[in-house]
Amino acid sequence: MMDWTDRHCRYFHRLLSTHALLYTEMLTTGALIHGDVPRHLDFNREEHPVALQLGGSDPTELAHSARLGQQWGYDEINLNCGCPSERVQRGSFGACLMAEPALVADCVKAMVDAVSVPVTVKHRIGIDKTESYGFVRDFVGAVSEAGCNVFLVHARNAWLKGLSPKENREVPPLRYEVAHRLKHEFPHLSFAVNGGFTTSAQVEEQLQELDGVMIGRAAYHNPWWLASWDSLYFGEPETGKTRESVEALMTEYMAREASAHATPWSSIARHMLGLRNGLPGARRWRQVWSDHRLRDQDPRDVMALAHEAVALPA
C-alpha cells in the first residue's frame, strides 16, 4: 500500500470506521534514519488506533525505527515480511526475509526489547512455488519465540522472480486453509488473514476460524464498505452517517490542511474517489474531484460542483 495509505487516506478511513486498526504504508528504516522523520511519521490524532509498518532487516536499525514510532505515538509496530517487489528485495527485506526466520526473530527481539507497544509481523505463506506448510509453520514458530504474538497472514505465496507486485497479488493461489492450520497449531497466538476479500460474508466466514481480517486495496477502492464495520464487527449502533456527510467532513479537512500546511486538496481528494462507487453519477463526481483545473478553488466550492454534476441527467 505504499503511496496509498498516507495520513490523509487514514484520516478518511477513520471517518468511516471508528474501531478498525489502520496501518501506515510501509516505511523503510533507511527513510527514518536518514530522511525527514516528521514528514514520514506525523499523523492525525484522530487516526488511533494506528500501526506503523516498517521495512528493514537490520535489528539495530529496526529497533531505532520502532522507538521513533513509539515516541510519535503509534499503537503498534509491524514488520513487513510480505512485500515481493524487486526494489524491496534489493534492500534484503520484505517477503525474501521469510527465507531467514532466525534473522526475522533477531529483528523482532530487538524491537520488542526497544518498545512497550505490540510488535507484529505481516508475512506470506511461502516464497516462490514451494507450498510446504512446514516452511511457514517454522517461520511463525521461530518469530513467535522472539516475542511476536500477532501475525498478519497474506494467504498467498510470494514469487520473488518473474511476477510483478500486482501479479503477486493475483497469480499465486489463495490458500486460506494455511492460515487456519497455523491458528490450530498455535492457538495462543493471534492470526489475521489478508488477501482477496471483497464482501462482508467472506470476512465473517474467516472470523469463524481466525482472530481478524486485514483488508487492503478493496478498502481503498470501495471505502464505503468500511462504514458498516463498526456495527458488524464491533457491536456499535448504526450512526446514520452518509457518503455526503463523510465527504463534507473531508472537505473541511482539506481546507484545514491547505491553511496549515499548504497541502493541495487534490492530494487528499484522490483517496476518496471510490466513495460513490456504484451510485448514479459516480463517474461525473470523480471527474470533478480529479479536475486539476480546479486546484486553486476552495474545496468546499469543488464539492458543490461535484454535487451539481451528480444531479445532472444521465
Active site residues: 83
Contact of 27 with 53, CB cutoff 8 Å? yes
Determine the Cα angle at 169 with ends 165 and 170, to 5°. Answer: 120
**What H or E segment, with its residue span, contains residue 200?**
helix 200-207
Measured in degrees and rounded to the nearest 5, phi and psi for residue 187 equal: -65, -20
Helices within 100-132 (DSSP H only): 101-114
CB neighbourhood size of 145 (10 A): 12
Residue 267: CB partners within 8 Å, gap ≥ 6?
8
If we measure between CA atoms, which residue out of 131, 134, 212 comes closest to residue 175? 131
**Cell numbers for 66:** 520502532
CA distances from 27 to 24, 82, 225, 286, 294 (A): 8, 14, 26, 29, 32
The dihedral sign for the CA sequence 147, 153, 159, 165:
negative
